[in-house]
Structure 1
Amino acid sequence: MERRLGETVNADVPLYERDPEAWRAYLAEGNAKQPRKRVSADILIRDREGRILLVDPRYKPDWDVPGGMAEANEAPHEAVRRELREELGLDVTVAGLLIVDWVPPHGPWDDLLAFLFDGGELTDDQVAELEIADDELSAFEFCTPQQAEQRLRPYVWRRVAVALDVLETGRVQYLR
């Protein structure tokens, strides 16, 4: 006999109370069948002049903002902190969320939730200490918004441009 959510043997005792192990098994089965989302976590970091930190990944043709893909069961803000430590040896406090962008399926990729966080402004000492810490990056540079627009893919620039506006308005944006 198959059990259904909330099924009771007697009208007074639901499955989650009567058999907690069976209830957890039921939930685990449902969890295993649910779709998974890819999640990216990037960060907008500026220097004292307001220029934006960009990175040049070796594995793709265009510049990008620092960050990367979240691992299984990793919170997006922790994913971006990990990526910064791994790639640039930089440990920053994630100041807050600026953008969530839903990217539809394209090419070989399923859809994606892209988070863009505020990494604040680095001090001159922090900028001086930046260095490439692994071989995923070939370069990094602080760029004006105009330079960033030229180097970034259009959809990445769109996120950055909206994020710069969010810094002024304080209104987190959902893009799609």
Structure 2
Amino acid sequence: MKPPSPADPVAWNAYLAEGNATQPRKRVAADVLIRDADGRVLLVKPTYKPGWDLPGGMAEANEPPHQAALRELREELGLHVAPLRLLVVDWVPPHGPWDDQLCFVFDGGVLPRDRASALRPHDEELSDTAFATVSDAQELLRPRLGTRLEAAIRALATGCPEYLHDGSAYPEHR
């Protein structure tokens, strides 16, 4: 059967919608690298999983990653930051019960001392916040996220975003 023609917009849109419905979906996470005046990085302690994390979270359906990051900062920390610069994209393959995922890390800038010291969780998803040196943060974070943090720090220094494949430099970028 021949697909409909764009000359018939109703049939064409129905055809495209059918194709869209069968396409795979990607999970998207958007984290933010926020520093204090001493160069330490902000970590958050989620209540729904063990360990520490970078602030941010999962994008909602049809939500751009940078807007997901901004929304998560507002909801979880009551924090408003300027538009974000991309630092890292990491493709994470399927693992455990999870499908693959695209993880973004954006630059949230440097908080002045008064704002950094007043930062507290604003909802039940977080139990704590802390600023840590990069080396201490890497020890507190899961290995894949620690590597993502390293890449974000490099991207800050070079001004060039990094693409990772499961937390490692993509082979063409090594």
TM-score normalised by structure 1 residue count: 0.90
Deviation at 1:101, TM superposition (A): 0.2
Partner in structure 2 of residue 133 of structure 1: 122
SS at match of 2:18: helix
Matched, 1:54 2:43: yes
Contact 2:87 2:107 in 1 (8 A): yes
Matches within 5 A, 1:96-175: 96-175=85-164
Question: Unaligned stretches of 5+ in structure 1?
Answer: 8-14
Contact 2:66 2:84 in 1 (8 A): no
Q: How many residues align?
A: 165
SS at match of 2:51: coil
In structure 1, what is the Cα distance between the partners aligned to 2:131 and 2:153? 15
Contact 2:87 2:105 in 1 (8 A): yes
User: What are the Cα deviations for residues 116-171 of structure 1, in whole angstroms up to 9, with x where unaligned?
Assistant: 00001111232243221001111000000111011000100000011101100111
Contact 1:92 1:119 in 2 (8 A): yes
SS at match of 1:167: helix
Contact 1:94 1:117 in 2 (8 A): no
SS at match of 2:71: helix
Question: Unaligned stretches of 5+ in structure 2?
Answer: 166-174
Which portions of structure 1, spanning 4 or more consecutive aligned residues, are displaced by more than 4 angstroms?
none
TM-score normalised by structure 2 residue count: 0.91
- Look at both structures and tell me which one has the larger radius of gyration over its CA atoms: 1
Partner in structure 2 of residue 29 of structure 1: 18
Over aligned residues, Cα RMSD in angstroms? 1.1
User: What are the Cα deviations for residues 64-100 of structure 1, in whole angstroms up to 9, with x where unaligned?
Assistant: 0000000000000000111111110001123310000
Contact 2:91 2:100 in 1 (8 A): yes
